[in-house]
Structure 1
Amino acid sequence: MSLHIQISDAVRSKISSGEWPPNYRLPAEPELSRQLGVSRGTLRRALSTLIEEGVLKQVQGRGTFVTSTVIEPAIAQKLSTLSEDLASQGIMTETSVISVSLLDAPRPIAKLLDVMPGQRVMKLVRLRTAAAGPLALLHNYVRADLAPDIEHVDFAERSLFGTLEQRFGLRIGSGRRTFSAQAATDDVADALHVPRDTAVQYLEQVTYLSDGRPVEYSDVWINSALLRVTSMLARR
């Protein structure tokens, strides 16, 4: 058996045994080649095989990691949408639009969007699904005065942020996201295919334009068994 195949098998063994758990960062190449007693060229060939298989992943500027079996978007680190994060990781998802409607802004949402109670907003309800099953249920409220006729957009094919920026020329500047845990209600449980009262991740978001005006509010319920929110933190 070729040496690089032996090295690939040795790495798989470390992963399957739990010695190298999901998201474990491998030692730097010089150290790892020393530990395994092989040249860096042989090591790179072995790691390339595992990366192609999806066992490992390389992150520019950070290193090589053991792939997690749970999807981990970066929505806790930057103002991107769930669909943008998943697409950047090469994860195929399908968006189902459950409903789109124009309605009078409920009082709490009107306050968050800085509009008068009863002012019109679009309510968009979607379900994001991957091969493993339903990932997230999303309820979005968008100010109709800033995006006229937005209710006619096909959001099964288009992202919300992309639509606001490209179709309506709005410049999204910042957002506030709050994460917590909730017990799944009947509607959430049905959508995510989990038992009622299952603990799910809940994300509340307000999105602001570059001039400070709020443009969107959303409630998002995430299937914790399939998708986990992570943050990369720096001390300074």
Structure 2
Amino acid sequence: MSLDRVREHPAPLAAARRRRLRADQALQLADLLRRQVLAGGFDRDGGVLPHEDTLRAAYRVSRNTVRQALDLLRAEQLVERQPGLGTIVVARKYSHGLDRLQGLAETLREHGRVTNEVRTVGPVPAPACVADRLRLAGGDGAQVLYVERLRRLNGLPLSLDLTYIPMDIGIELLGADLENNDVFRLLEEITGCRLGTAQITLEAVNADAHSAAVLQAPRSAAVLMVERLTHLSDGRPVDLEFIHFRGDRISMSGVLHRAA
């Protein structure tokens, strides 16, 4: 837009800038409030957030900004408005640590009980990308054990895990109790070797029809997809997983150290 056009329409441009600023402030406030919700910061008040006027004064923003921020948290189903009570916390995300290599039950044990519904288990020909990542002899078409599990935390669907394991190890898992055990622990028992390291990739994706149905989430809802390739302590890759977490029920956290 030319400077002449800008001078001709100063009021609409100023209004647009104000709306953008308010939206930016609402996002910032939502981030701060979300952190407190997830950390249990409002538990001592019975899970009730401060009144809108209190938030407005504390964060030095407008009433509209406060309402927009609360609308964002409502859309995430973290809070809801209840007449006579105000804005209350209705859900919390479970913190999944990234500091240690652990199975889901180990990671979330302080939050409750993880159960596994084994939906599929059996040998399949390895797709080329799986064979490459697991360094399988014979490459594309080599047999791997494929396991699909729905993981629940306290009865609520949390993740859909798709796992590929080399068949020389996977054959031992066919008779194992996959419903009540983490695969990590079983791998260490079978191989007699500790797990060592894992390469991990996190990204947000839209739930496909299958994932949405299994996780009881709206189709195309945001899902946190974790790709993890786990190695034994001797360096052999033994477990390739694609884990689809419900984004409204999990958060990832860890401690990062700056390299010298």
Give the TM-score normalised by structure 1.
Answer: 0.69
Equivalent in 117, 130, 141 of residue 96 of structure 1: 117
Instruction: Determine the structure 2 residue equivalent to 1:165.
Output: 188
Structure 1 residues 133, 210: closer, same or farther in 2, change over 3 A? same
Instruction: Determine the structure 1 residue equivalent to 2:106.
Output: 84
Runs of 4+ in 1 over 4 A off after TM superposition: none
Instruction: Determine the structure 2 residue equivalent to 1:16.
Output: 48
Equivalent in 168, 176, 189 of residue 153 of structure 1: 176
Instruction: Determine the structure 2 residue equivalent to 1:106.
Output: 127
- Summarize deviations over 1:184-230 as a string: whole Å, max 9, x none: 00110001111111111000010111121111100000001111112
CA distance in 1, matches of 2:243, 2:50: 32
Shift of 1:114: 0.4
> What letter corresponds to residue 48 of structure 2 in structure 1?
S
| Structure 2, gaps ≥5 residues long | 1-41, 52-90
Instruction: Determine the structure 2 residue equivalent to 1:224.
Output: 247
Shift of 1:14: 9.1
Structure 1 residues 147, 190: closer, same or farther in 2, change over 3 A? closer
Give the TM-score normalised by structure 2.
Answer: 0.63
Count of residue pairs the alignment pairs up = 177
> What letter corresponds to residue 109 of structure 1 in structure 2?
V
Instruction: Determine the structure 2 residue equivalent to 1:198.
Output: 221
Structure with higher Rg: it is 2
- Summarize deviations over 1:13-46 as a string: whole Å, max 9, x none: 3963359xxxxxxxxxxxxxxxxxxxxxxxxxxx
Shift of 1:112: 0.4
Secondary structure class of the residue paired with 2:118: strand
1:233 aligns with 2:256: yes
Structure 1 residues 18, 91: closer, same or farther in 2, change over 3 A? farther
Shift of 1:132: 6.2
1:25-104 alignment, distance < 5 Å: 69-74=92-97, 76-87=98-109, 89-104=110-125
Structure 1 residues 14, 193: closer, same or farther in 2, change over 3 A? closer
Secondary structure class of the residue paired with 1:152: coil
> What letter corresponds to residue 149 of structure 2 in structure 1?
R
Percent of paired sites with the same residue: 27
Shift of 1:181: 0.4
Secondary structure class of the residue paired with 1:16: coil
Instruction: Determine the structure 2 residue equivalent to 1:47.
Output: none
Shift of 1:173: 0.9
Q: Is the 8 A contact 1:144 1:150 kept in 2?
A: no
Q: Is the 8 A contact 1:114 1:214 kept in 2?
A: yes
Shift of 1:104: 1.3
CA distance in 1, matches of 2:134, 2:221: 30
Structure 1 residues 18, 230: closer, same or farther in 2, change over 3 A? farther
Q: Is the 8 A contact 1:147 1:168 kept in 2?
A: no
> What letter corresponds to residue 110 of structure 1 in structure 2?
A
CA distance in 1, matches of 2:147, 2:225: 17
CA distance in 2, matches of 1:230, 1:169: 30
Structure 1 residues 150, 14: closer, same or farther in 2, change over 3 A? closer
